[in-house]
Chain A
Amino acid sequence: CYCHCECYSKPKGFFYVCIIYLLAIKVGCSVPAARKTGTTICGVVFKDGVVLGADTRATEGMIVADKNCSKIHYISPNIYCCGAGTAADTEMTTQLISSNLELHSLSTGRLPRVATANRMLKQMLFRYQGYIGAALVLGGVDCNGPHLYSIYPHGSTDKLPYVTMGSGSLAAMAVFEDRYKPDMEEDAAKQLVRDAIAAGIFNDLGSGSNIDLCVITKSKVNYIRPHDEANKKGVRTGDYKYKRGTTGVLTKAVTPIDLELLEESVQTMDTS
């Protein structure tokens, strides 16, 4: 609860979270928004495989909750999935299908196919009638070649040579529609995906920070995180600290306090 009201004095804990939430709404405080991944994600099929790309910003309402989150999730050794929408939903959905797919792959004795992952994901999302807010870009290479699918929260899917999802999808799609060609080389495809994500990062408020890439081919998977640090934090050039002696000291009295050191632990702050 991000507001100053009497709900602070109530005992906290898992059971009371719902009650505090409802109280907060009644009192009129703004309740914490679910962490969404705002996001620009995209994928492209090239000559030897697929390239998946994603930005790395996770938002909670209008605040950036995570400046470097990973949106490209592992499904199987040859299949990866980018997720947009509610971060928890994409995380849990991809993990569940990844687990089921591994069991399925052990049962069949074969490398899993992208179409199988697509069916499992769409059937689960349809069952929940859109309440699981997961919009996914699924890509991989299997015995039938490279495949790319986009999967929507209500359970519909599209199989296309290039797809974009997320709040920055329109910016990224503009780049794809301009420069996509069939059967590109790996470097051209990586550059195209990088540029599409960059368009999303710089023109959409919900996307930002770095660009992650995942290149999947028949022989190997190249998970490049980060591929491009497009928004590196600058180094401060000046300092507002005053030198010792700027203010004159009239009197000084020192009182030592005897303390016994029981335990020392260091926790670094994330200043990236």
Chain B
Amino acid sequence: MLEEAAPEWLSEEVKTGTTIIGIEYDGGVVLGSDSRVSAGETVVNRVMNKLSPLHDKIYCALSGSAADAQTMAEIVNYQLDVHSIEIGEDPQVRSAATLVRNISYKYREELSAHLIVAGWDRRNGGQVFATMKGLLTRQPFAVGGSGSSYVYGFVDAEYRRGMSKQECQQFVVNTLSLAMNRDGSSGGVAYIVTIDEHGTEEKVILGNQLPTFFDQ
């Protein structure tokens, strides 16, 4: 490289490439993500946990620009702490999603990050919200990130209403595995977070333990 000694990642923004997915079941939600962070063609972190806690029972999945997504998650984490002290109880998932949506919408021209907010609250049980570019919509499941394009067909075909917790977790793991195989910006390990009335369970599934499909 005689013409350019400066590495591309100094000029390229660090993106989380990514595949993220959130799905609700009766009694809770399951959030899943891959772990690859890229800057241009270089992988700068192969084990990043993109499932960021906003509150005890509310998590968000990060995608898009790493700096924008991390900053949004940290700001909303702070705002939710204040809000939950003000109301004197655990915040609703809709409140968390609204705070994320307010930032996404106000700075929609400057930011390029998409957060999927999911969690459990007493009033409405498990909920998943998508907040891209400033919209707020509750969905039974949501996928996001560059890898999601490759698995829309799979999730649309395989999703059924009324799946159990184990079935949801398997669904998430299968989706992540398929997306990570096809998307260059997704890879590494899979992180799964299951949130329900009793608590939050975080799990890591290493590369060699991911489900394999016909071509492996």
Q: With A152-B39, A158-B45, A160-B45 as given contacts, are A166 and B7 in contact (CB-CB < 8 Å)?
A: yes
Are B65 and A133 in contact, CB atoms less than 8 angstroms apart? no
Please give, as numbers and ranges, the residues of chain B lying within 8 Å of A154 by CB-CB distance: 13-14, 65-68
B interface residue count range (under 10 / 10 to 19 / 20 to 34 / 35 or more): 20 to 34
Q: Is A206 an interface residue (CB 8 A)?
A: yes
A59 to B78, CA, bound (A): 41
Q: With A154-B65, A155-B67, A158-B48 as given contacts, are A38 and B10 in contact (CB-CB < 8 Å)?
A: no
Please give, as numbers and ranges, the residues of chain A lying within 8 Å of B212 by CB-CB distance: none
Are A167 and B70 in contact, CB atoms less than 8 angstroms apart? no
Residue in A150, A160, A205 whose CB lies within 8 Å of B1:
A205
Residue in B6, B48, B110 whose CB lies within 8 Å of A167:
B6
Are B6 and A36 in contact, CB atoms less than 8 angstroms apart? yes
Closest to A62 in B: B5
Are B44 and A150 in contact, CB atoms less than 8 angstroms apart? yes
Most chain B CB within 10 A, of A84, A154, A158, is at A154
A22 CB, min distance to chain B CBs, angstroms: 23
Q: Is B164 an interface residue (CB 8 A)?
A: no
Q: Is B47 an interface residue (CB 8 A)?
A: yes
By a beta-carbon cutoff of 8 Å, the part of chain A in contact with chain B is: 36, 38, 59, 62, 84-85, 122-123, 125-126, 129-130, 133, 135, 150, 152-158, 160, 166-167, 169-170, 204-206
Task: Enumerate 22 A-B pairs (CB-CB under 8 Å) in ascending A order.
Answer: A36-B6, A85-B10, A126-B71, A133-B10, A135-B10, A152-B39, A152-B66, A154-B13, A154-B65, A155-B67, A155-B71, A156-B14, A156-B37, A156-B65, A156-B67, A160-B45, A160-B47, A167-B6, A167-B7, A169-B7, A169-B42, A204-B5
